[in-house]
Amino acid sequence: MASGSSDQLREEVTAFLDQEWDLDLTVGDWWERLARSGWGFPTWPTEWFGKGLGTDQLPTIDAVFKERGVLGAPGGLGQMMGGPVLMRHGSPQQQERHLWNLAAGVESWCQFFSEPGSGSDLASAQTRAVRDGDEWVVNGQKVWTSGARTADRGMLVARVNMEAPKHAGLGYFVIEVDQPGIEVRPLKQMTGDAHFNEVFFTDARVPDAELVGRPGDGWAAAVTTLAFERSGRAGVVGVGFGREVEARTRRSELRARKLGEVVERSGSRPTSFDARNPGISGRLSPVSLIKEPGANRSDPLRQDVTRYYIQIRVNTMNQQRARAAAEAGKGAGPASSITKLSRSVATRINRDIGPAILGAGGMLVGPDAPMGGAVAQSTLAAPSISIAGGTDEIQHNILGERVLGLPREPQVDRDVPFKDLKVGTIRAEAQRGES
């Protein structure tokens, strides 16, 4: 395991890149080299393709990768959340079956959590999984699922026990997406993109071997997943394709590309607009925008840009703290909620600063617009940041209860059998029956 000073760590990373980085490799070959070396996911345990390092050492590693313009490990929800969740809640067989595929970028995963009738109350999920021999049969609907059209597998929260209270009756599955019982329909956003999808399960099947933990343990695994989602992508180093590229492209296609082609097309920096984190990094940063020719550089705007920069720097440290807590098995502490809220604040600052710097040009879209229209895209995408991964209101509740010691919100349904609740589609069915 790498240890010692940051200088020593830089030397180790540099030596690895000097020996292994080769533009003649395919992306898949490079990802496999990263997985075997442990430098792709250095905070993962050494037995699972990592280095066992702390999140405080990531900036040093990341800096070396980016200075060299080196493609980092595969990104995505499976790598950010699925792998770490399996390390904590999965069986040895599940870890053996899935962790290499995630570390080496063989598979892409999505997240089947949100439902039309559940809103922010994930525990009231109504998609059902019924045991049938060695399999479970799944029926229901999920919504706002990123990357479902190209995902190989999905992290699925489904109701396995209607007699138990809502938190106690959930199961957490790793389900194969490409099967007849799963239909994915894209959802057109006001940005013009279709990053999200609604997904319908009609007698879809998942082996019992892919149930994480026991029936009824799904809530614990779901909370762990959300902790990693809210703490961000702090466990991945290097430059990447950009989330929208990963969401639109099959993992097999990404793996087949030549590194030389990737670097040439992206000017040695394979990054691009990230609709989930508009303006957080890369060319959309107000720090970069204000340097553009003709940019508004008035004193109030310069102060806003400084405030944005400070917000991002502080949140980066909070992300590392939250990620370290989650990886240490301390659960979804308040740090992940603080990180989520801070990201929302930074996004709103960026939403206002970008158009103010560019003026009318900040409202234009298309290839001929300033920054290729990315500022307008970022402005339109901004509201989603305060919703995805748990709304800002949910994070405020968590901080109020767990940090400030305020009384919990009344939950009269917490101990009621789920079949007796009137929520979501269950409420609609009850209303139809009464009429």
Q: Which residues are catalytic?
A: 229
Asked if residue 378 lies in contact with residue 351, where contact means CB atoms within 8 angstroms, the answer is yes
How many CB atoms are located within 10 Å of the residue 178 CB?
A: 9
Q: Which two tokens stand for residue 137?
A: 């049969």
Asked if residue 142 lies in contact with residue 157, where contact means CB atoms within 8 angstroms, the answer is no
Burial track 156-174 (b if 16+ CB lie within 10 A, e otherwise): bbbbbbbebbbbbbbbbbb
Report the C-alpha dihedral over residues 227, 92, 127, 103, rounded to 10 degrees. 60
- In whole angstroms, what is the distance from residue 217 CA to residue 211 CA? 9
Q: Up-side HSE of residue 221: CA atoms within 13 Å toward CB? A: 31
The DSSP symbol for 408 reads P
- In whole angstroms, what is the distance from residue 17 CA to residue 34 CA? 10
The DSSP symbol for 420 reads G
Q: Which DSSP string corresponds to 344-407?
A: HHHHHHHHHHHHHHHGGGGG--STTSGGGGHHHHHHHHHHHHTTTTS-HHHHHHHHHHHTS-PP
**Alpha helix (H) ranges present in 267-368?**
286-289, 299-327, 334-358
Given the structure tokens 């313009």, which residue do they identify?
69
Given the structure tokens 């008035």, which residue do they identify?
298
